[in-house]
Structure 1
Amino acid sequence: MFKPLIFYIGLRYTRAKRRTQFISFITLTSVFGIALGVTALITVLSVMNGFEAELRERILGMTSHATVTGLNGQLDNWPEAEAKIKNQPHVEGVAPFISGQVMINADRRVSGTMLNGILPDYENKVSKVGANMVEGRLSDLTAGSYNIVLGAELANYLGVIVGDKITVISPQINSTPAGILPRMRRFTVTGLFKVGMYEYDRNMALIHLDDAAKLYRMDTAVSGLRIKLDEIFNAPRITRELASEFYGEYVVSDWTQAHSNFFRAVQTEKRVMFIILLLIVAVAAFNIVSTLVMVVTDKRGDIAILKTQGLTSRAVMGIFVVLGTIIGVTGTAIGTLGGITLALNASTIVRKIETFFQVNFLPADVYYISELPSKLVLTDVYAIAGMAFLLSLLATLYPAWQAAKVNPAEVLRYE
């Protein structure tokens, strides 16, 4: 079989003789280092992609893609605003809401929480809370019934179950002969929801819109309208169009404004992690330099003989570029395969480790998500593999150049 001379010699140098076992060990270390770095980089970025996607889905499953309020902070005639907005392009659903902070008391337990007034039929058009009910139904919230749906973690903290009575204490005040007292109302727990995010499961409760209007003394007004769009990533552009359409009537904001700092922090952390882990790949790649320098030193006699046989300096340089490239490609290929395998099975592996060692890496009361998600993005894999290969290739240039400078006359004089 025909093999190009440069490639054949470079491939031959990857196999060790008895006297070059140490060089072979260093070569294997370089391959392992690159593979480990690439595996870690692919796995960590996949997990971070998974966290970002899961957080975005859960947050936007509870909050709106866009929000419309009045210039005074509330909407006085929301049906009119709803009629205008739902006929706009890209709008898939509109739902009114009333929102405020309250205290909830159950026996001796008290907790502050966000209390939202909703219309169940409308709410299902803009959020996934109805699909995340673990007990009861969202439709049990009817006007005048003073029923309430709690987050599962909030109910667990208060020690209440479906059917129990709780007291909601509003910051609104009543003037009575006994003095100024906060507004209080007894509610019946008719349902529990769990979306998998501690922030919402622990700090949110839902009641009917009319009950919220009475509790907050808002009459027919609402806090605003929640809007679901056909494409969440186009929310900034769509909200700008809506804002210009209703300029002077309503204030329009989108989810990127409401959660901009959070998602910007996630992106920044992802970039920093990429740079840190890329340094591991870089260190491993530049181990190739020391490997090739030792190979060049060991093969000086061979290089001199090849040059006397007519091999050019460029060809000699090519031999060691091939050798270093083989090391880099092998390490990158192993690391890519290992990274993809780990990324696709990260959740399963972590669960087995937690079960075996009886530990919990992501406690629900500390982290937004209590399970380890992973999302493999092929563009990330291509970028990581490409960077690892490029670093490996760059690491070959100096030793290859040193090999090309070998003077046959000086080397063979002492042979």
Structure 2
Amino acid sequence: MFRPLSIFIGARYTRAKRRNHFISFISLTSMIGLALGVLAMIVVLSVMNGFQKEMSSRILGMVPHASISAVTPLDDWKTVADAAQKNPEVIAAVPFAELEGMLSFRGAMQPIQLQGIDPQLEPKVSIIGDHMVKGRLADLKPGEYGVVIGEITARRFRLNIGDKLALIVPEVSSVPGGITPRMKRLNVVGIFKVGAELDSSLALINVADAADIQRYKPGQVQSVRLKVKDLYAAPQVSAQVAASLGADYRASDWTLTQGSLFSAMKMEKTMIGLLLLLIVAVAAFNIIATLIMVVADKGADIAILRTIGATPRQIMGIFIVQGTVIGTVGTLIGCALGIVAALNVSQLVGWIERVSGQHVFSSDVYFISNLPSQLQLTDVLLICAAAFGLSFLATLYPSWRASRIQPAEALRYE
């Protein structure tokens, strides 16, 4: 079968045993370095994808994807909900209220964000029902001022089901200061744990009780909470719903409250990816060193090829092929090992915990108790493309040097 001269000789050089074993060693270390770099990038980015997915499902499963409110409290929230659900991107719409205050228990205080919910409808838009560790959402009955608190809040105040605590909310008044505190006694009826910061900053009460605290009329609610199909389309979807209802309605979405967190996570993934790419770059520099030494070792061969008619372009192609083969093999090995490791990293960490008897991720310290991993095809393709690209670029200078060798100079002392 016919093969171009550059590919034929470059492949032979790659397979051939060299007199200088140090060159073979450098070639091997270049290949291993590329494989380790690609392996590390795939595993680390997959773990970061897993963390991002885990945090998204937990945090955005608790906070509203979007909400629709008006200048005044909503008298008929069902009309707004029906109008919102006409949009094909809206999955569910339920009554919702949100207010901020302070929880007080035996002299200790902490800020809290209260959500007023309908216990029967809340599972349509929230994952809270799946993360109750004590009590039930159904215990949030109107008029009884029950509250469901996070596990960290309960641990901080040493609260349990049946305990009572005080809620302090600010209220605008005509006194000289302009704001006076109002107090309401709440009964702990449930404790949830989602494994995120919300366990210490969020509490749930019945939407009717929230309306009473806000001094609304019976039946009035602050807003309507929406759950949408595509989280990243929530700003556009909520704006469309608000526009269809009229000028008196306004929309808000999760990007206003949690957007900075997920932007920071995305930036962190990008920066760590760039730092890990330096490992691949170092391995690529090893390819440069390998090819420079090969060119010096094969000077006589290059001169003979030139004398029998090989062009500088063909000489250059020989060493490009040789360096590219080293880079390709290293990248493919690293890709295969990285995919296997990323798919089994949770089991590997579990095995290490069982063997060592130590918890790598303790639920008392971290928001999660295992190491999540989500392998994405786009990440794998980008990593492999970057490794291939760096490997190819690393071959250009040594190959160019080889093409500039003059036969008379190389054979002078042969």
Same fold (TM over 0.5): yes
Shift of residue 383 of structure 1?
1.2
CA distance in 2, matches of 1:88, 1:33: 52
Structure 2 match to 1:307: 306
CA distance in 2, matches of 1:253, 1:111: 26
Structure 2 match to 1:269: 268
Q: Contact conserved, 1:95 with 1:119, CA < 8 A, in 2?
A: yes
CA distance in 2, matches of 1:319, 1:236: 55
CA distance in 1, matches of 2:346, 2:191: 27
Counterparts in 2 of 1:101 and 1:255: CA distance versus 1, 3 Å: closer
Corresponding position: 1:68 with 2:58: no
Counterparts in 2 of 1:414 and 1:285: CA distance versus 1, 3 Å: same
Shift of residue 389 of structure 1?
0.6
Shift of residue 240 of structure 1?
2.6
Shift of residue 302 of structure 1?
1.5
1:213 maps to which of 211, 214, 218: 211
Structure 2 match to 1:333: 332
Deviates more, 1:80-89 or 1:116-125: 80-89
> Residues 22-57 of structure 1, C-alpha deviation per residue, up to 9 Å, x if partnerless?
011111111111112111111221122222222221
Q: Contact conserved, 2:96 with 2:207, CA < 8 A, in 1?
A: yes
Instruction: Please state whether the residue corresponding to 2:159 is helix, strand or coil.
Output: coil
Structure 1 match to 2:385: 386
Shift of residue 362 of structure 1?
5.0
Deviates more, 1:80-89 or 1:115-124: 80-89
CA distance in 1, matches of 2:103, 2:369: 26
Paired residue type of 2:26? I
Deviates more, 1:381-390 or 1:87-96: 87-96
Instruction: Please state whether the residue corresponding to 2:221 is helix, strand or coil.
Output: coil
CA distance in 2, matches of 1:313, 1:86: 69
Q: Contact conserved, 1:324 with 1:396, CA < 8 A, in 2?
A: yes
Shift of residue 174 of structure 1?
12
CA distance in 2, matches of 1:147, 1:126: 20
Instruction: Please state whether the residue corresponding to 1:282 is helix, strand or coil.
Output: helix
CA distance in 2, matches of 1:103, 1:210: 19
Shift of residue 91 of structure 1?
2.1
Corresponding position: 1:349 with 2:348: yes
Shift of residue 336 of structure 1?
0.8
Counterparts in 2 of 1:254 and 1:99: CA distance versus 1, 3 Å: closer
CA distance in 2, matches of 1:89, 1:400: 58
Deviates more, 1:215-224 or 1:315-324: 215-224
Structure 2 match to 1:45: 45
Paired residue type of 1:211? D
Structure 2 match to 1:239: 238
Structure 2 match to 1:13: 13
Between the two proteins, the alignment pairs up a number of residues equal to: 407
Deviates more, 1:384-393 or 1:87-96: 87-96
Structure 2 match to 1:409: 408
CA distance in 1, matches of 2:268, 2:132: 33
CA distance in 1, matches of 2:256, 2:111: 25
Q: Contact conserved, 1:174 with 1:183, CA < 8 A, in 2?
A: no
Corresponding position: 1:196 with 2:191: no
CA distance in 2, matches of 1:86, 1:235: 14
> Residues 231-290 of structure 1, C-alpha deviation per residue, up to 9 Å, x if partnerless?
323223212322322341211122233322222222222222222222221221122111
Extract unaligned runs of 5+ from structure 2: 174-179
> Residues 156-176 of structure 1, C-alpha deviation per residue, up to 9 Å, x if partnerless?
2222333x221222225799x
CA distance in 1, matches of 2:361, 2:170: 38
Q: Contact conserved, 1:105 with 1:166, CA < 8 A, in 2?
A: no
CA distance in 1, matches of 2:258, 2:181: 35
Paired residue type of 2:401? Q
Instruction: Please state whether the residue corresponding to 2:371 is helix, strand or coil.
Output: coil
Counterparts in 2 of 1:239 and 1:209: CA distance versus 1, 3 Å: closer
Q: Contact conserved, 1:16 with 1:24, CA < 8 A, in 2?
A: no
